[in-house]
A and B are shown apart, each in its own frame.
Chain A
């Protein structure tokens, strides 16, 4: 780490000319106060309203799942030919949302994009909650939930092991690893900030809870040294992991032999789409949090604009992938492959296809305009549209099943009330968990934000005193 740190100080411009990553030049104490006070102050009314709505939706999820276990997956709109419905659509959607968090925390860390410090905690929390929502679907869709342990490497009653050549088993390992690594990454990042909350705690219960969670951290450099190494290693291994998880998800489709699914473009195309949708979700949440909690210095325009640029890049990659799929279908000369794509664009699900194209290909192109990508209202609407579009992308892929080789077997898949209830319920769970996070944990990585302030640099030339020096 020391080597990296030295290279960084050497290669960067003079520290005095550092770009201001956090606007308004706050003192260290201001950062601590503005972030911690959100957790410490009285619960705002708006929080209760939002939590009431989202926890009601969570309740709907629980009811829908209970009914599903009672009655079986017949309550969903699944049937042949569309035997995979909203369960897999939602799974891929939520896992994809999670990818932005890992990208921000790991990939941007390795690339030394220090503007990430404002949003990484927030985005990592989003990752964990999105992965929790995602993991519900493969668990409940099995139908016979009491034998769900078949997906784990445990021999069944006849001594048979699961098939390790199956992408569905790869999913189990990929998701399990992804969830664990994200959780560990998030927790390691939280330790110094939990120590801050411990030191500021006013009552005994908080002091004990934050004290235990922060493990007795005292910010010594002998601790920081190993801490930074652990963080670097986690970032280094989470980077290939984030690329692999959605690649493995895409193989659920690509490893099959169906026209429209059996394509080699799927892994990179899924990864780009995942990052695209994830950034859109971070944007939606960041704008809401910024408006509600007044963290305009930290979630500043420079950070938001860069996120929009990432959406522009990944959105264009997704658009390119859509075009390339069509081109390859034509170029292959395979009439089934060609039919699958023409059917997507002009068949019975054309409405879904064109929602997908408008939201995912056209909307991000507006970010070429500096005026639009720095407009809060526009980026908020765009981020929501992109999330809708990315949900429909997975829907379009799955309903390709509705028309296969045999016209007499064609069908039209319509989700039932219970399909929709579980989708809405998963949003409820996601927002409930996110609101709890905002209430009880620091939503901005304070120690990292302080580390990018100009006065944090030991070679800082300015004479600005920190607040505590001024009052001393």
Chain B
């Protein structure tokens, strides 16, 4: 049941992912995505009648933290991850709201 990814779809996915793809890359990505979808389609062969939808792979729930401040000012270390910094802030390309 071969899935077909259209040119429009790969264009759109590229925009959403903010990826600037070359024509070759687009063709390769189409092929990869089609194969992934075909693989996922195999799951449809399973009869899931009467099976509860699962919300998480682990049978664990209610993992909580208490509302207590444990982190102090670590801005020196955090800002090391900034491509550029200024006035203790992350400097990023001009962005409009």
**Is the A/B pair a real complex?**
no
On B, residues with C-beta under 8 Å from A are none
On A, residues with C-beta under 8 Å from B are none
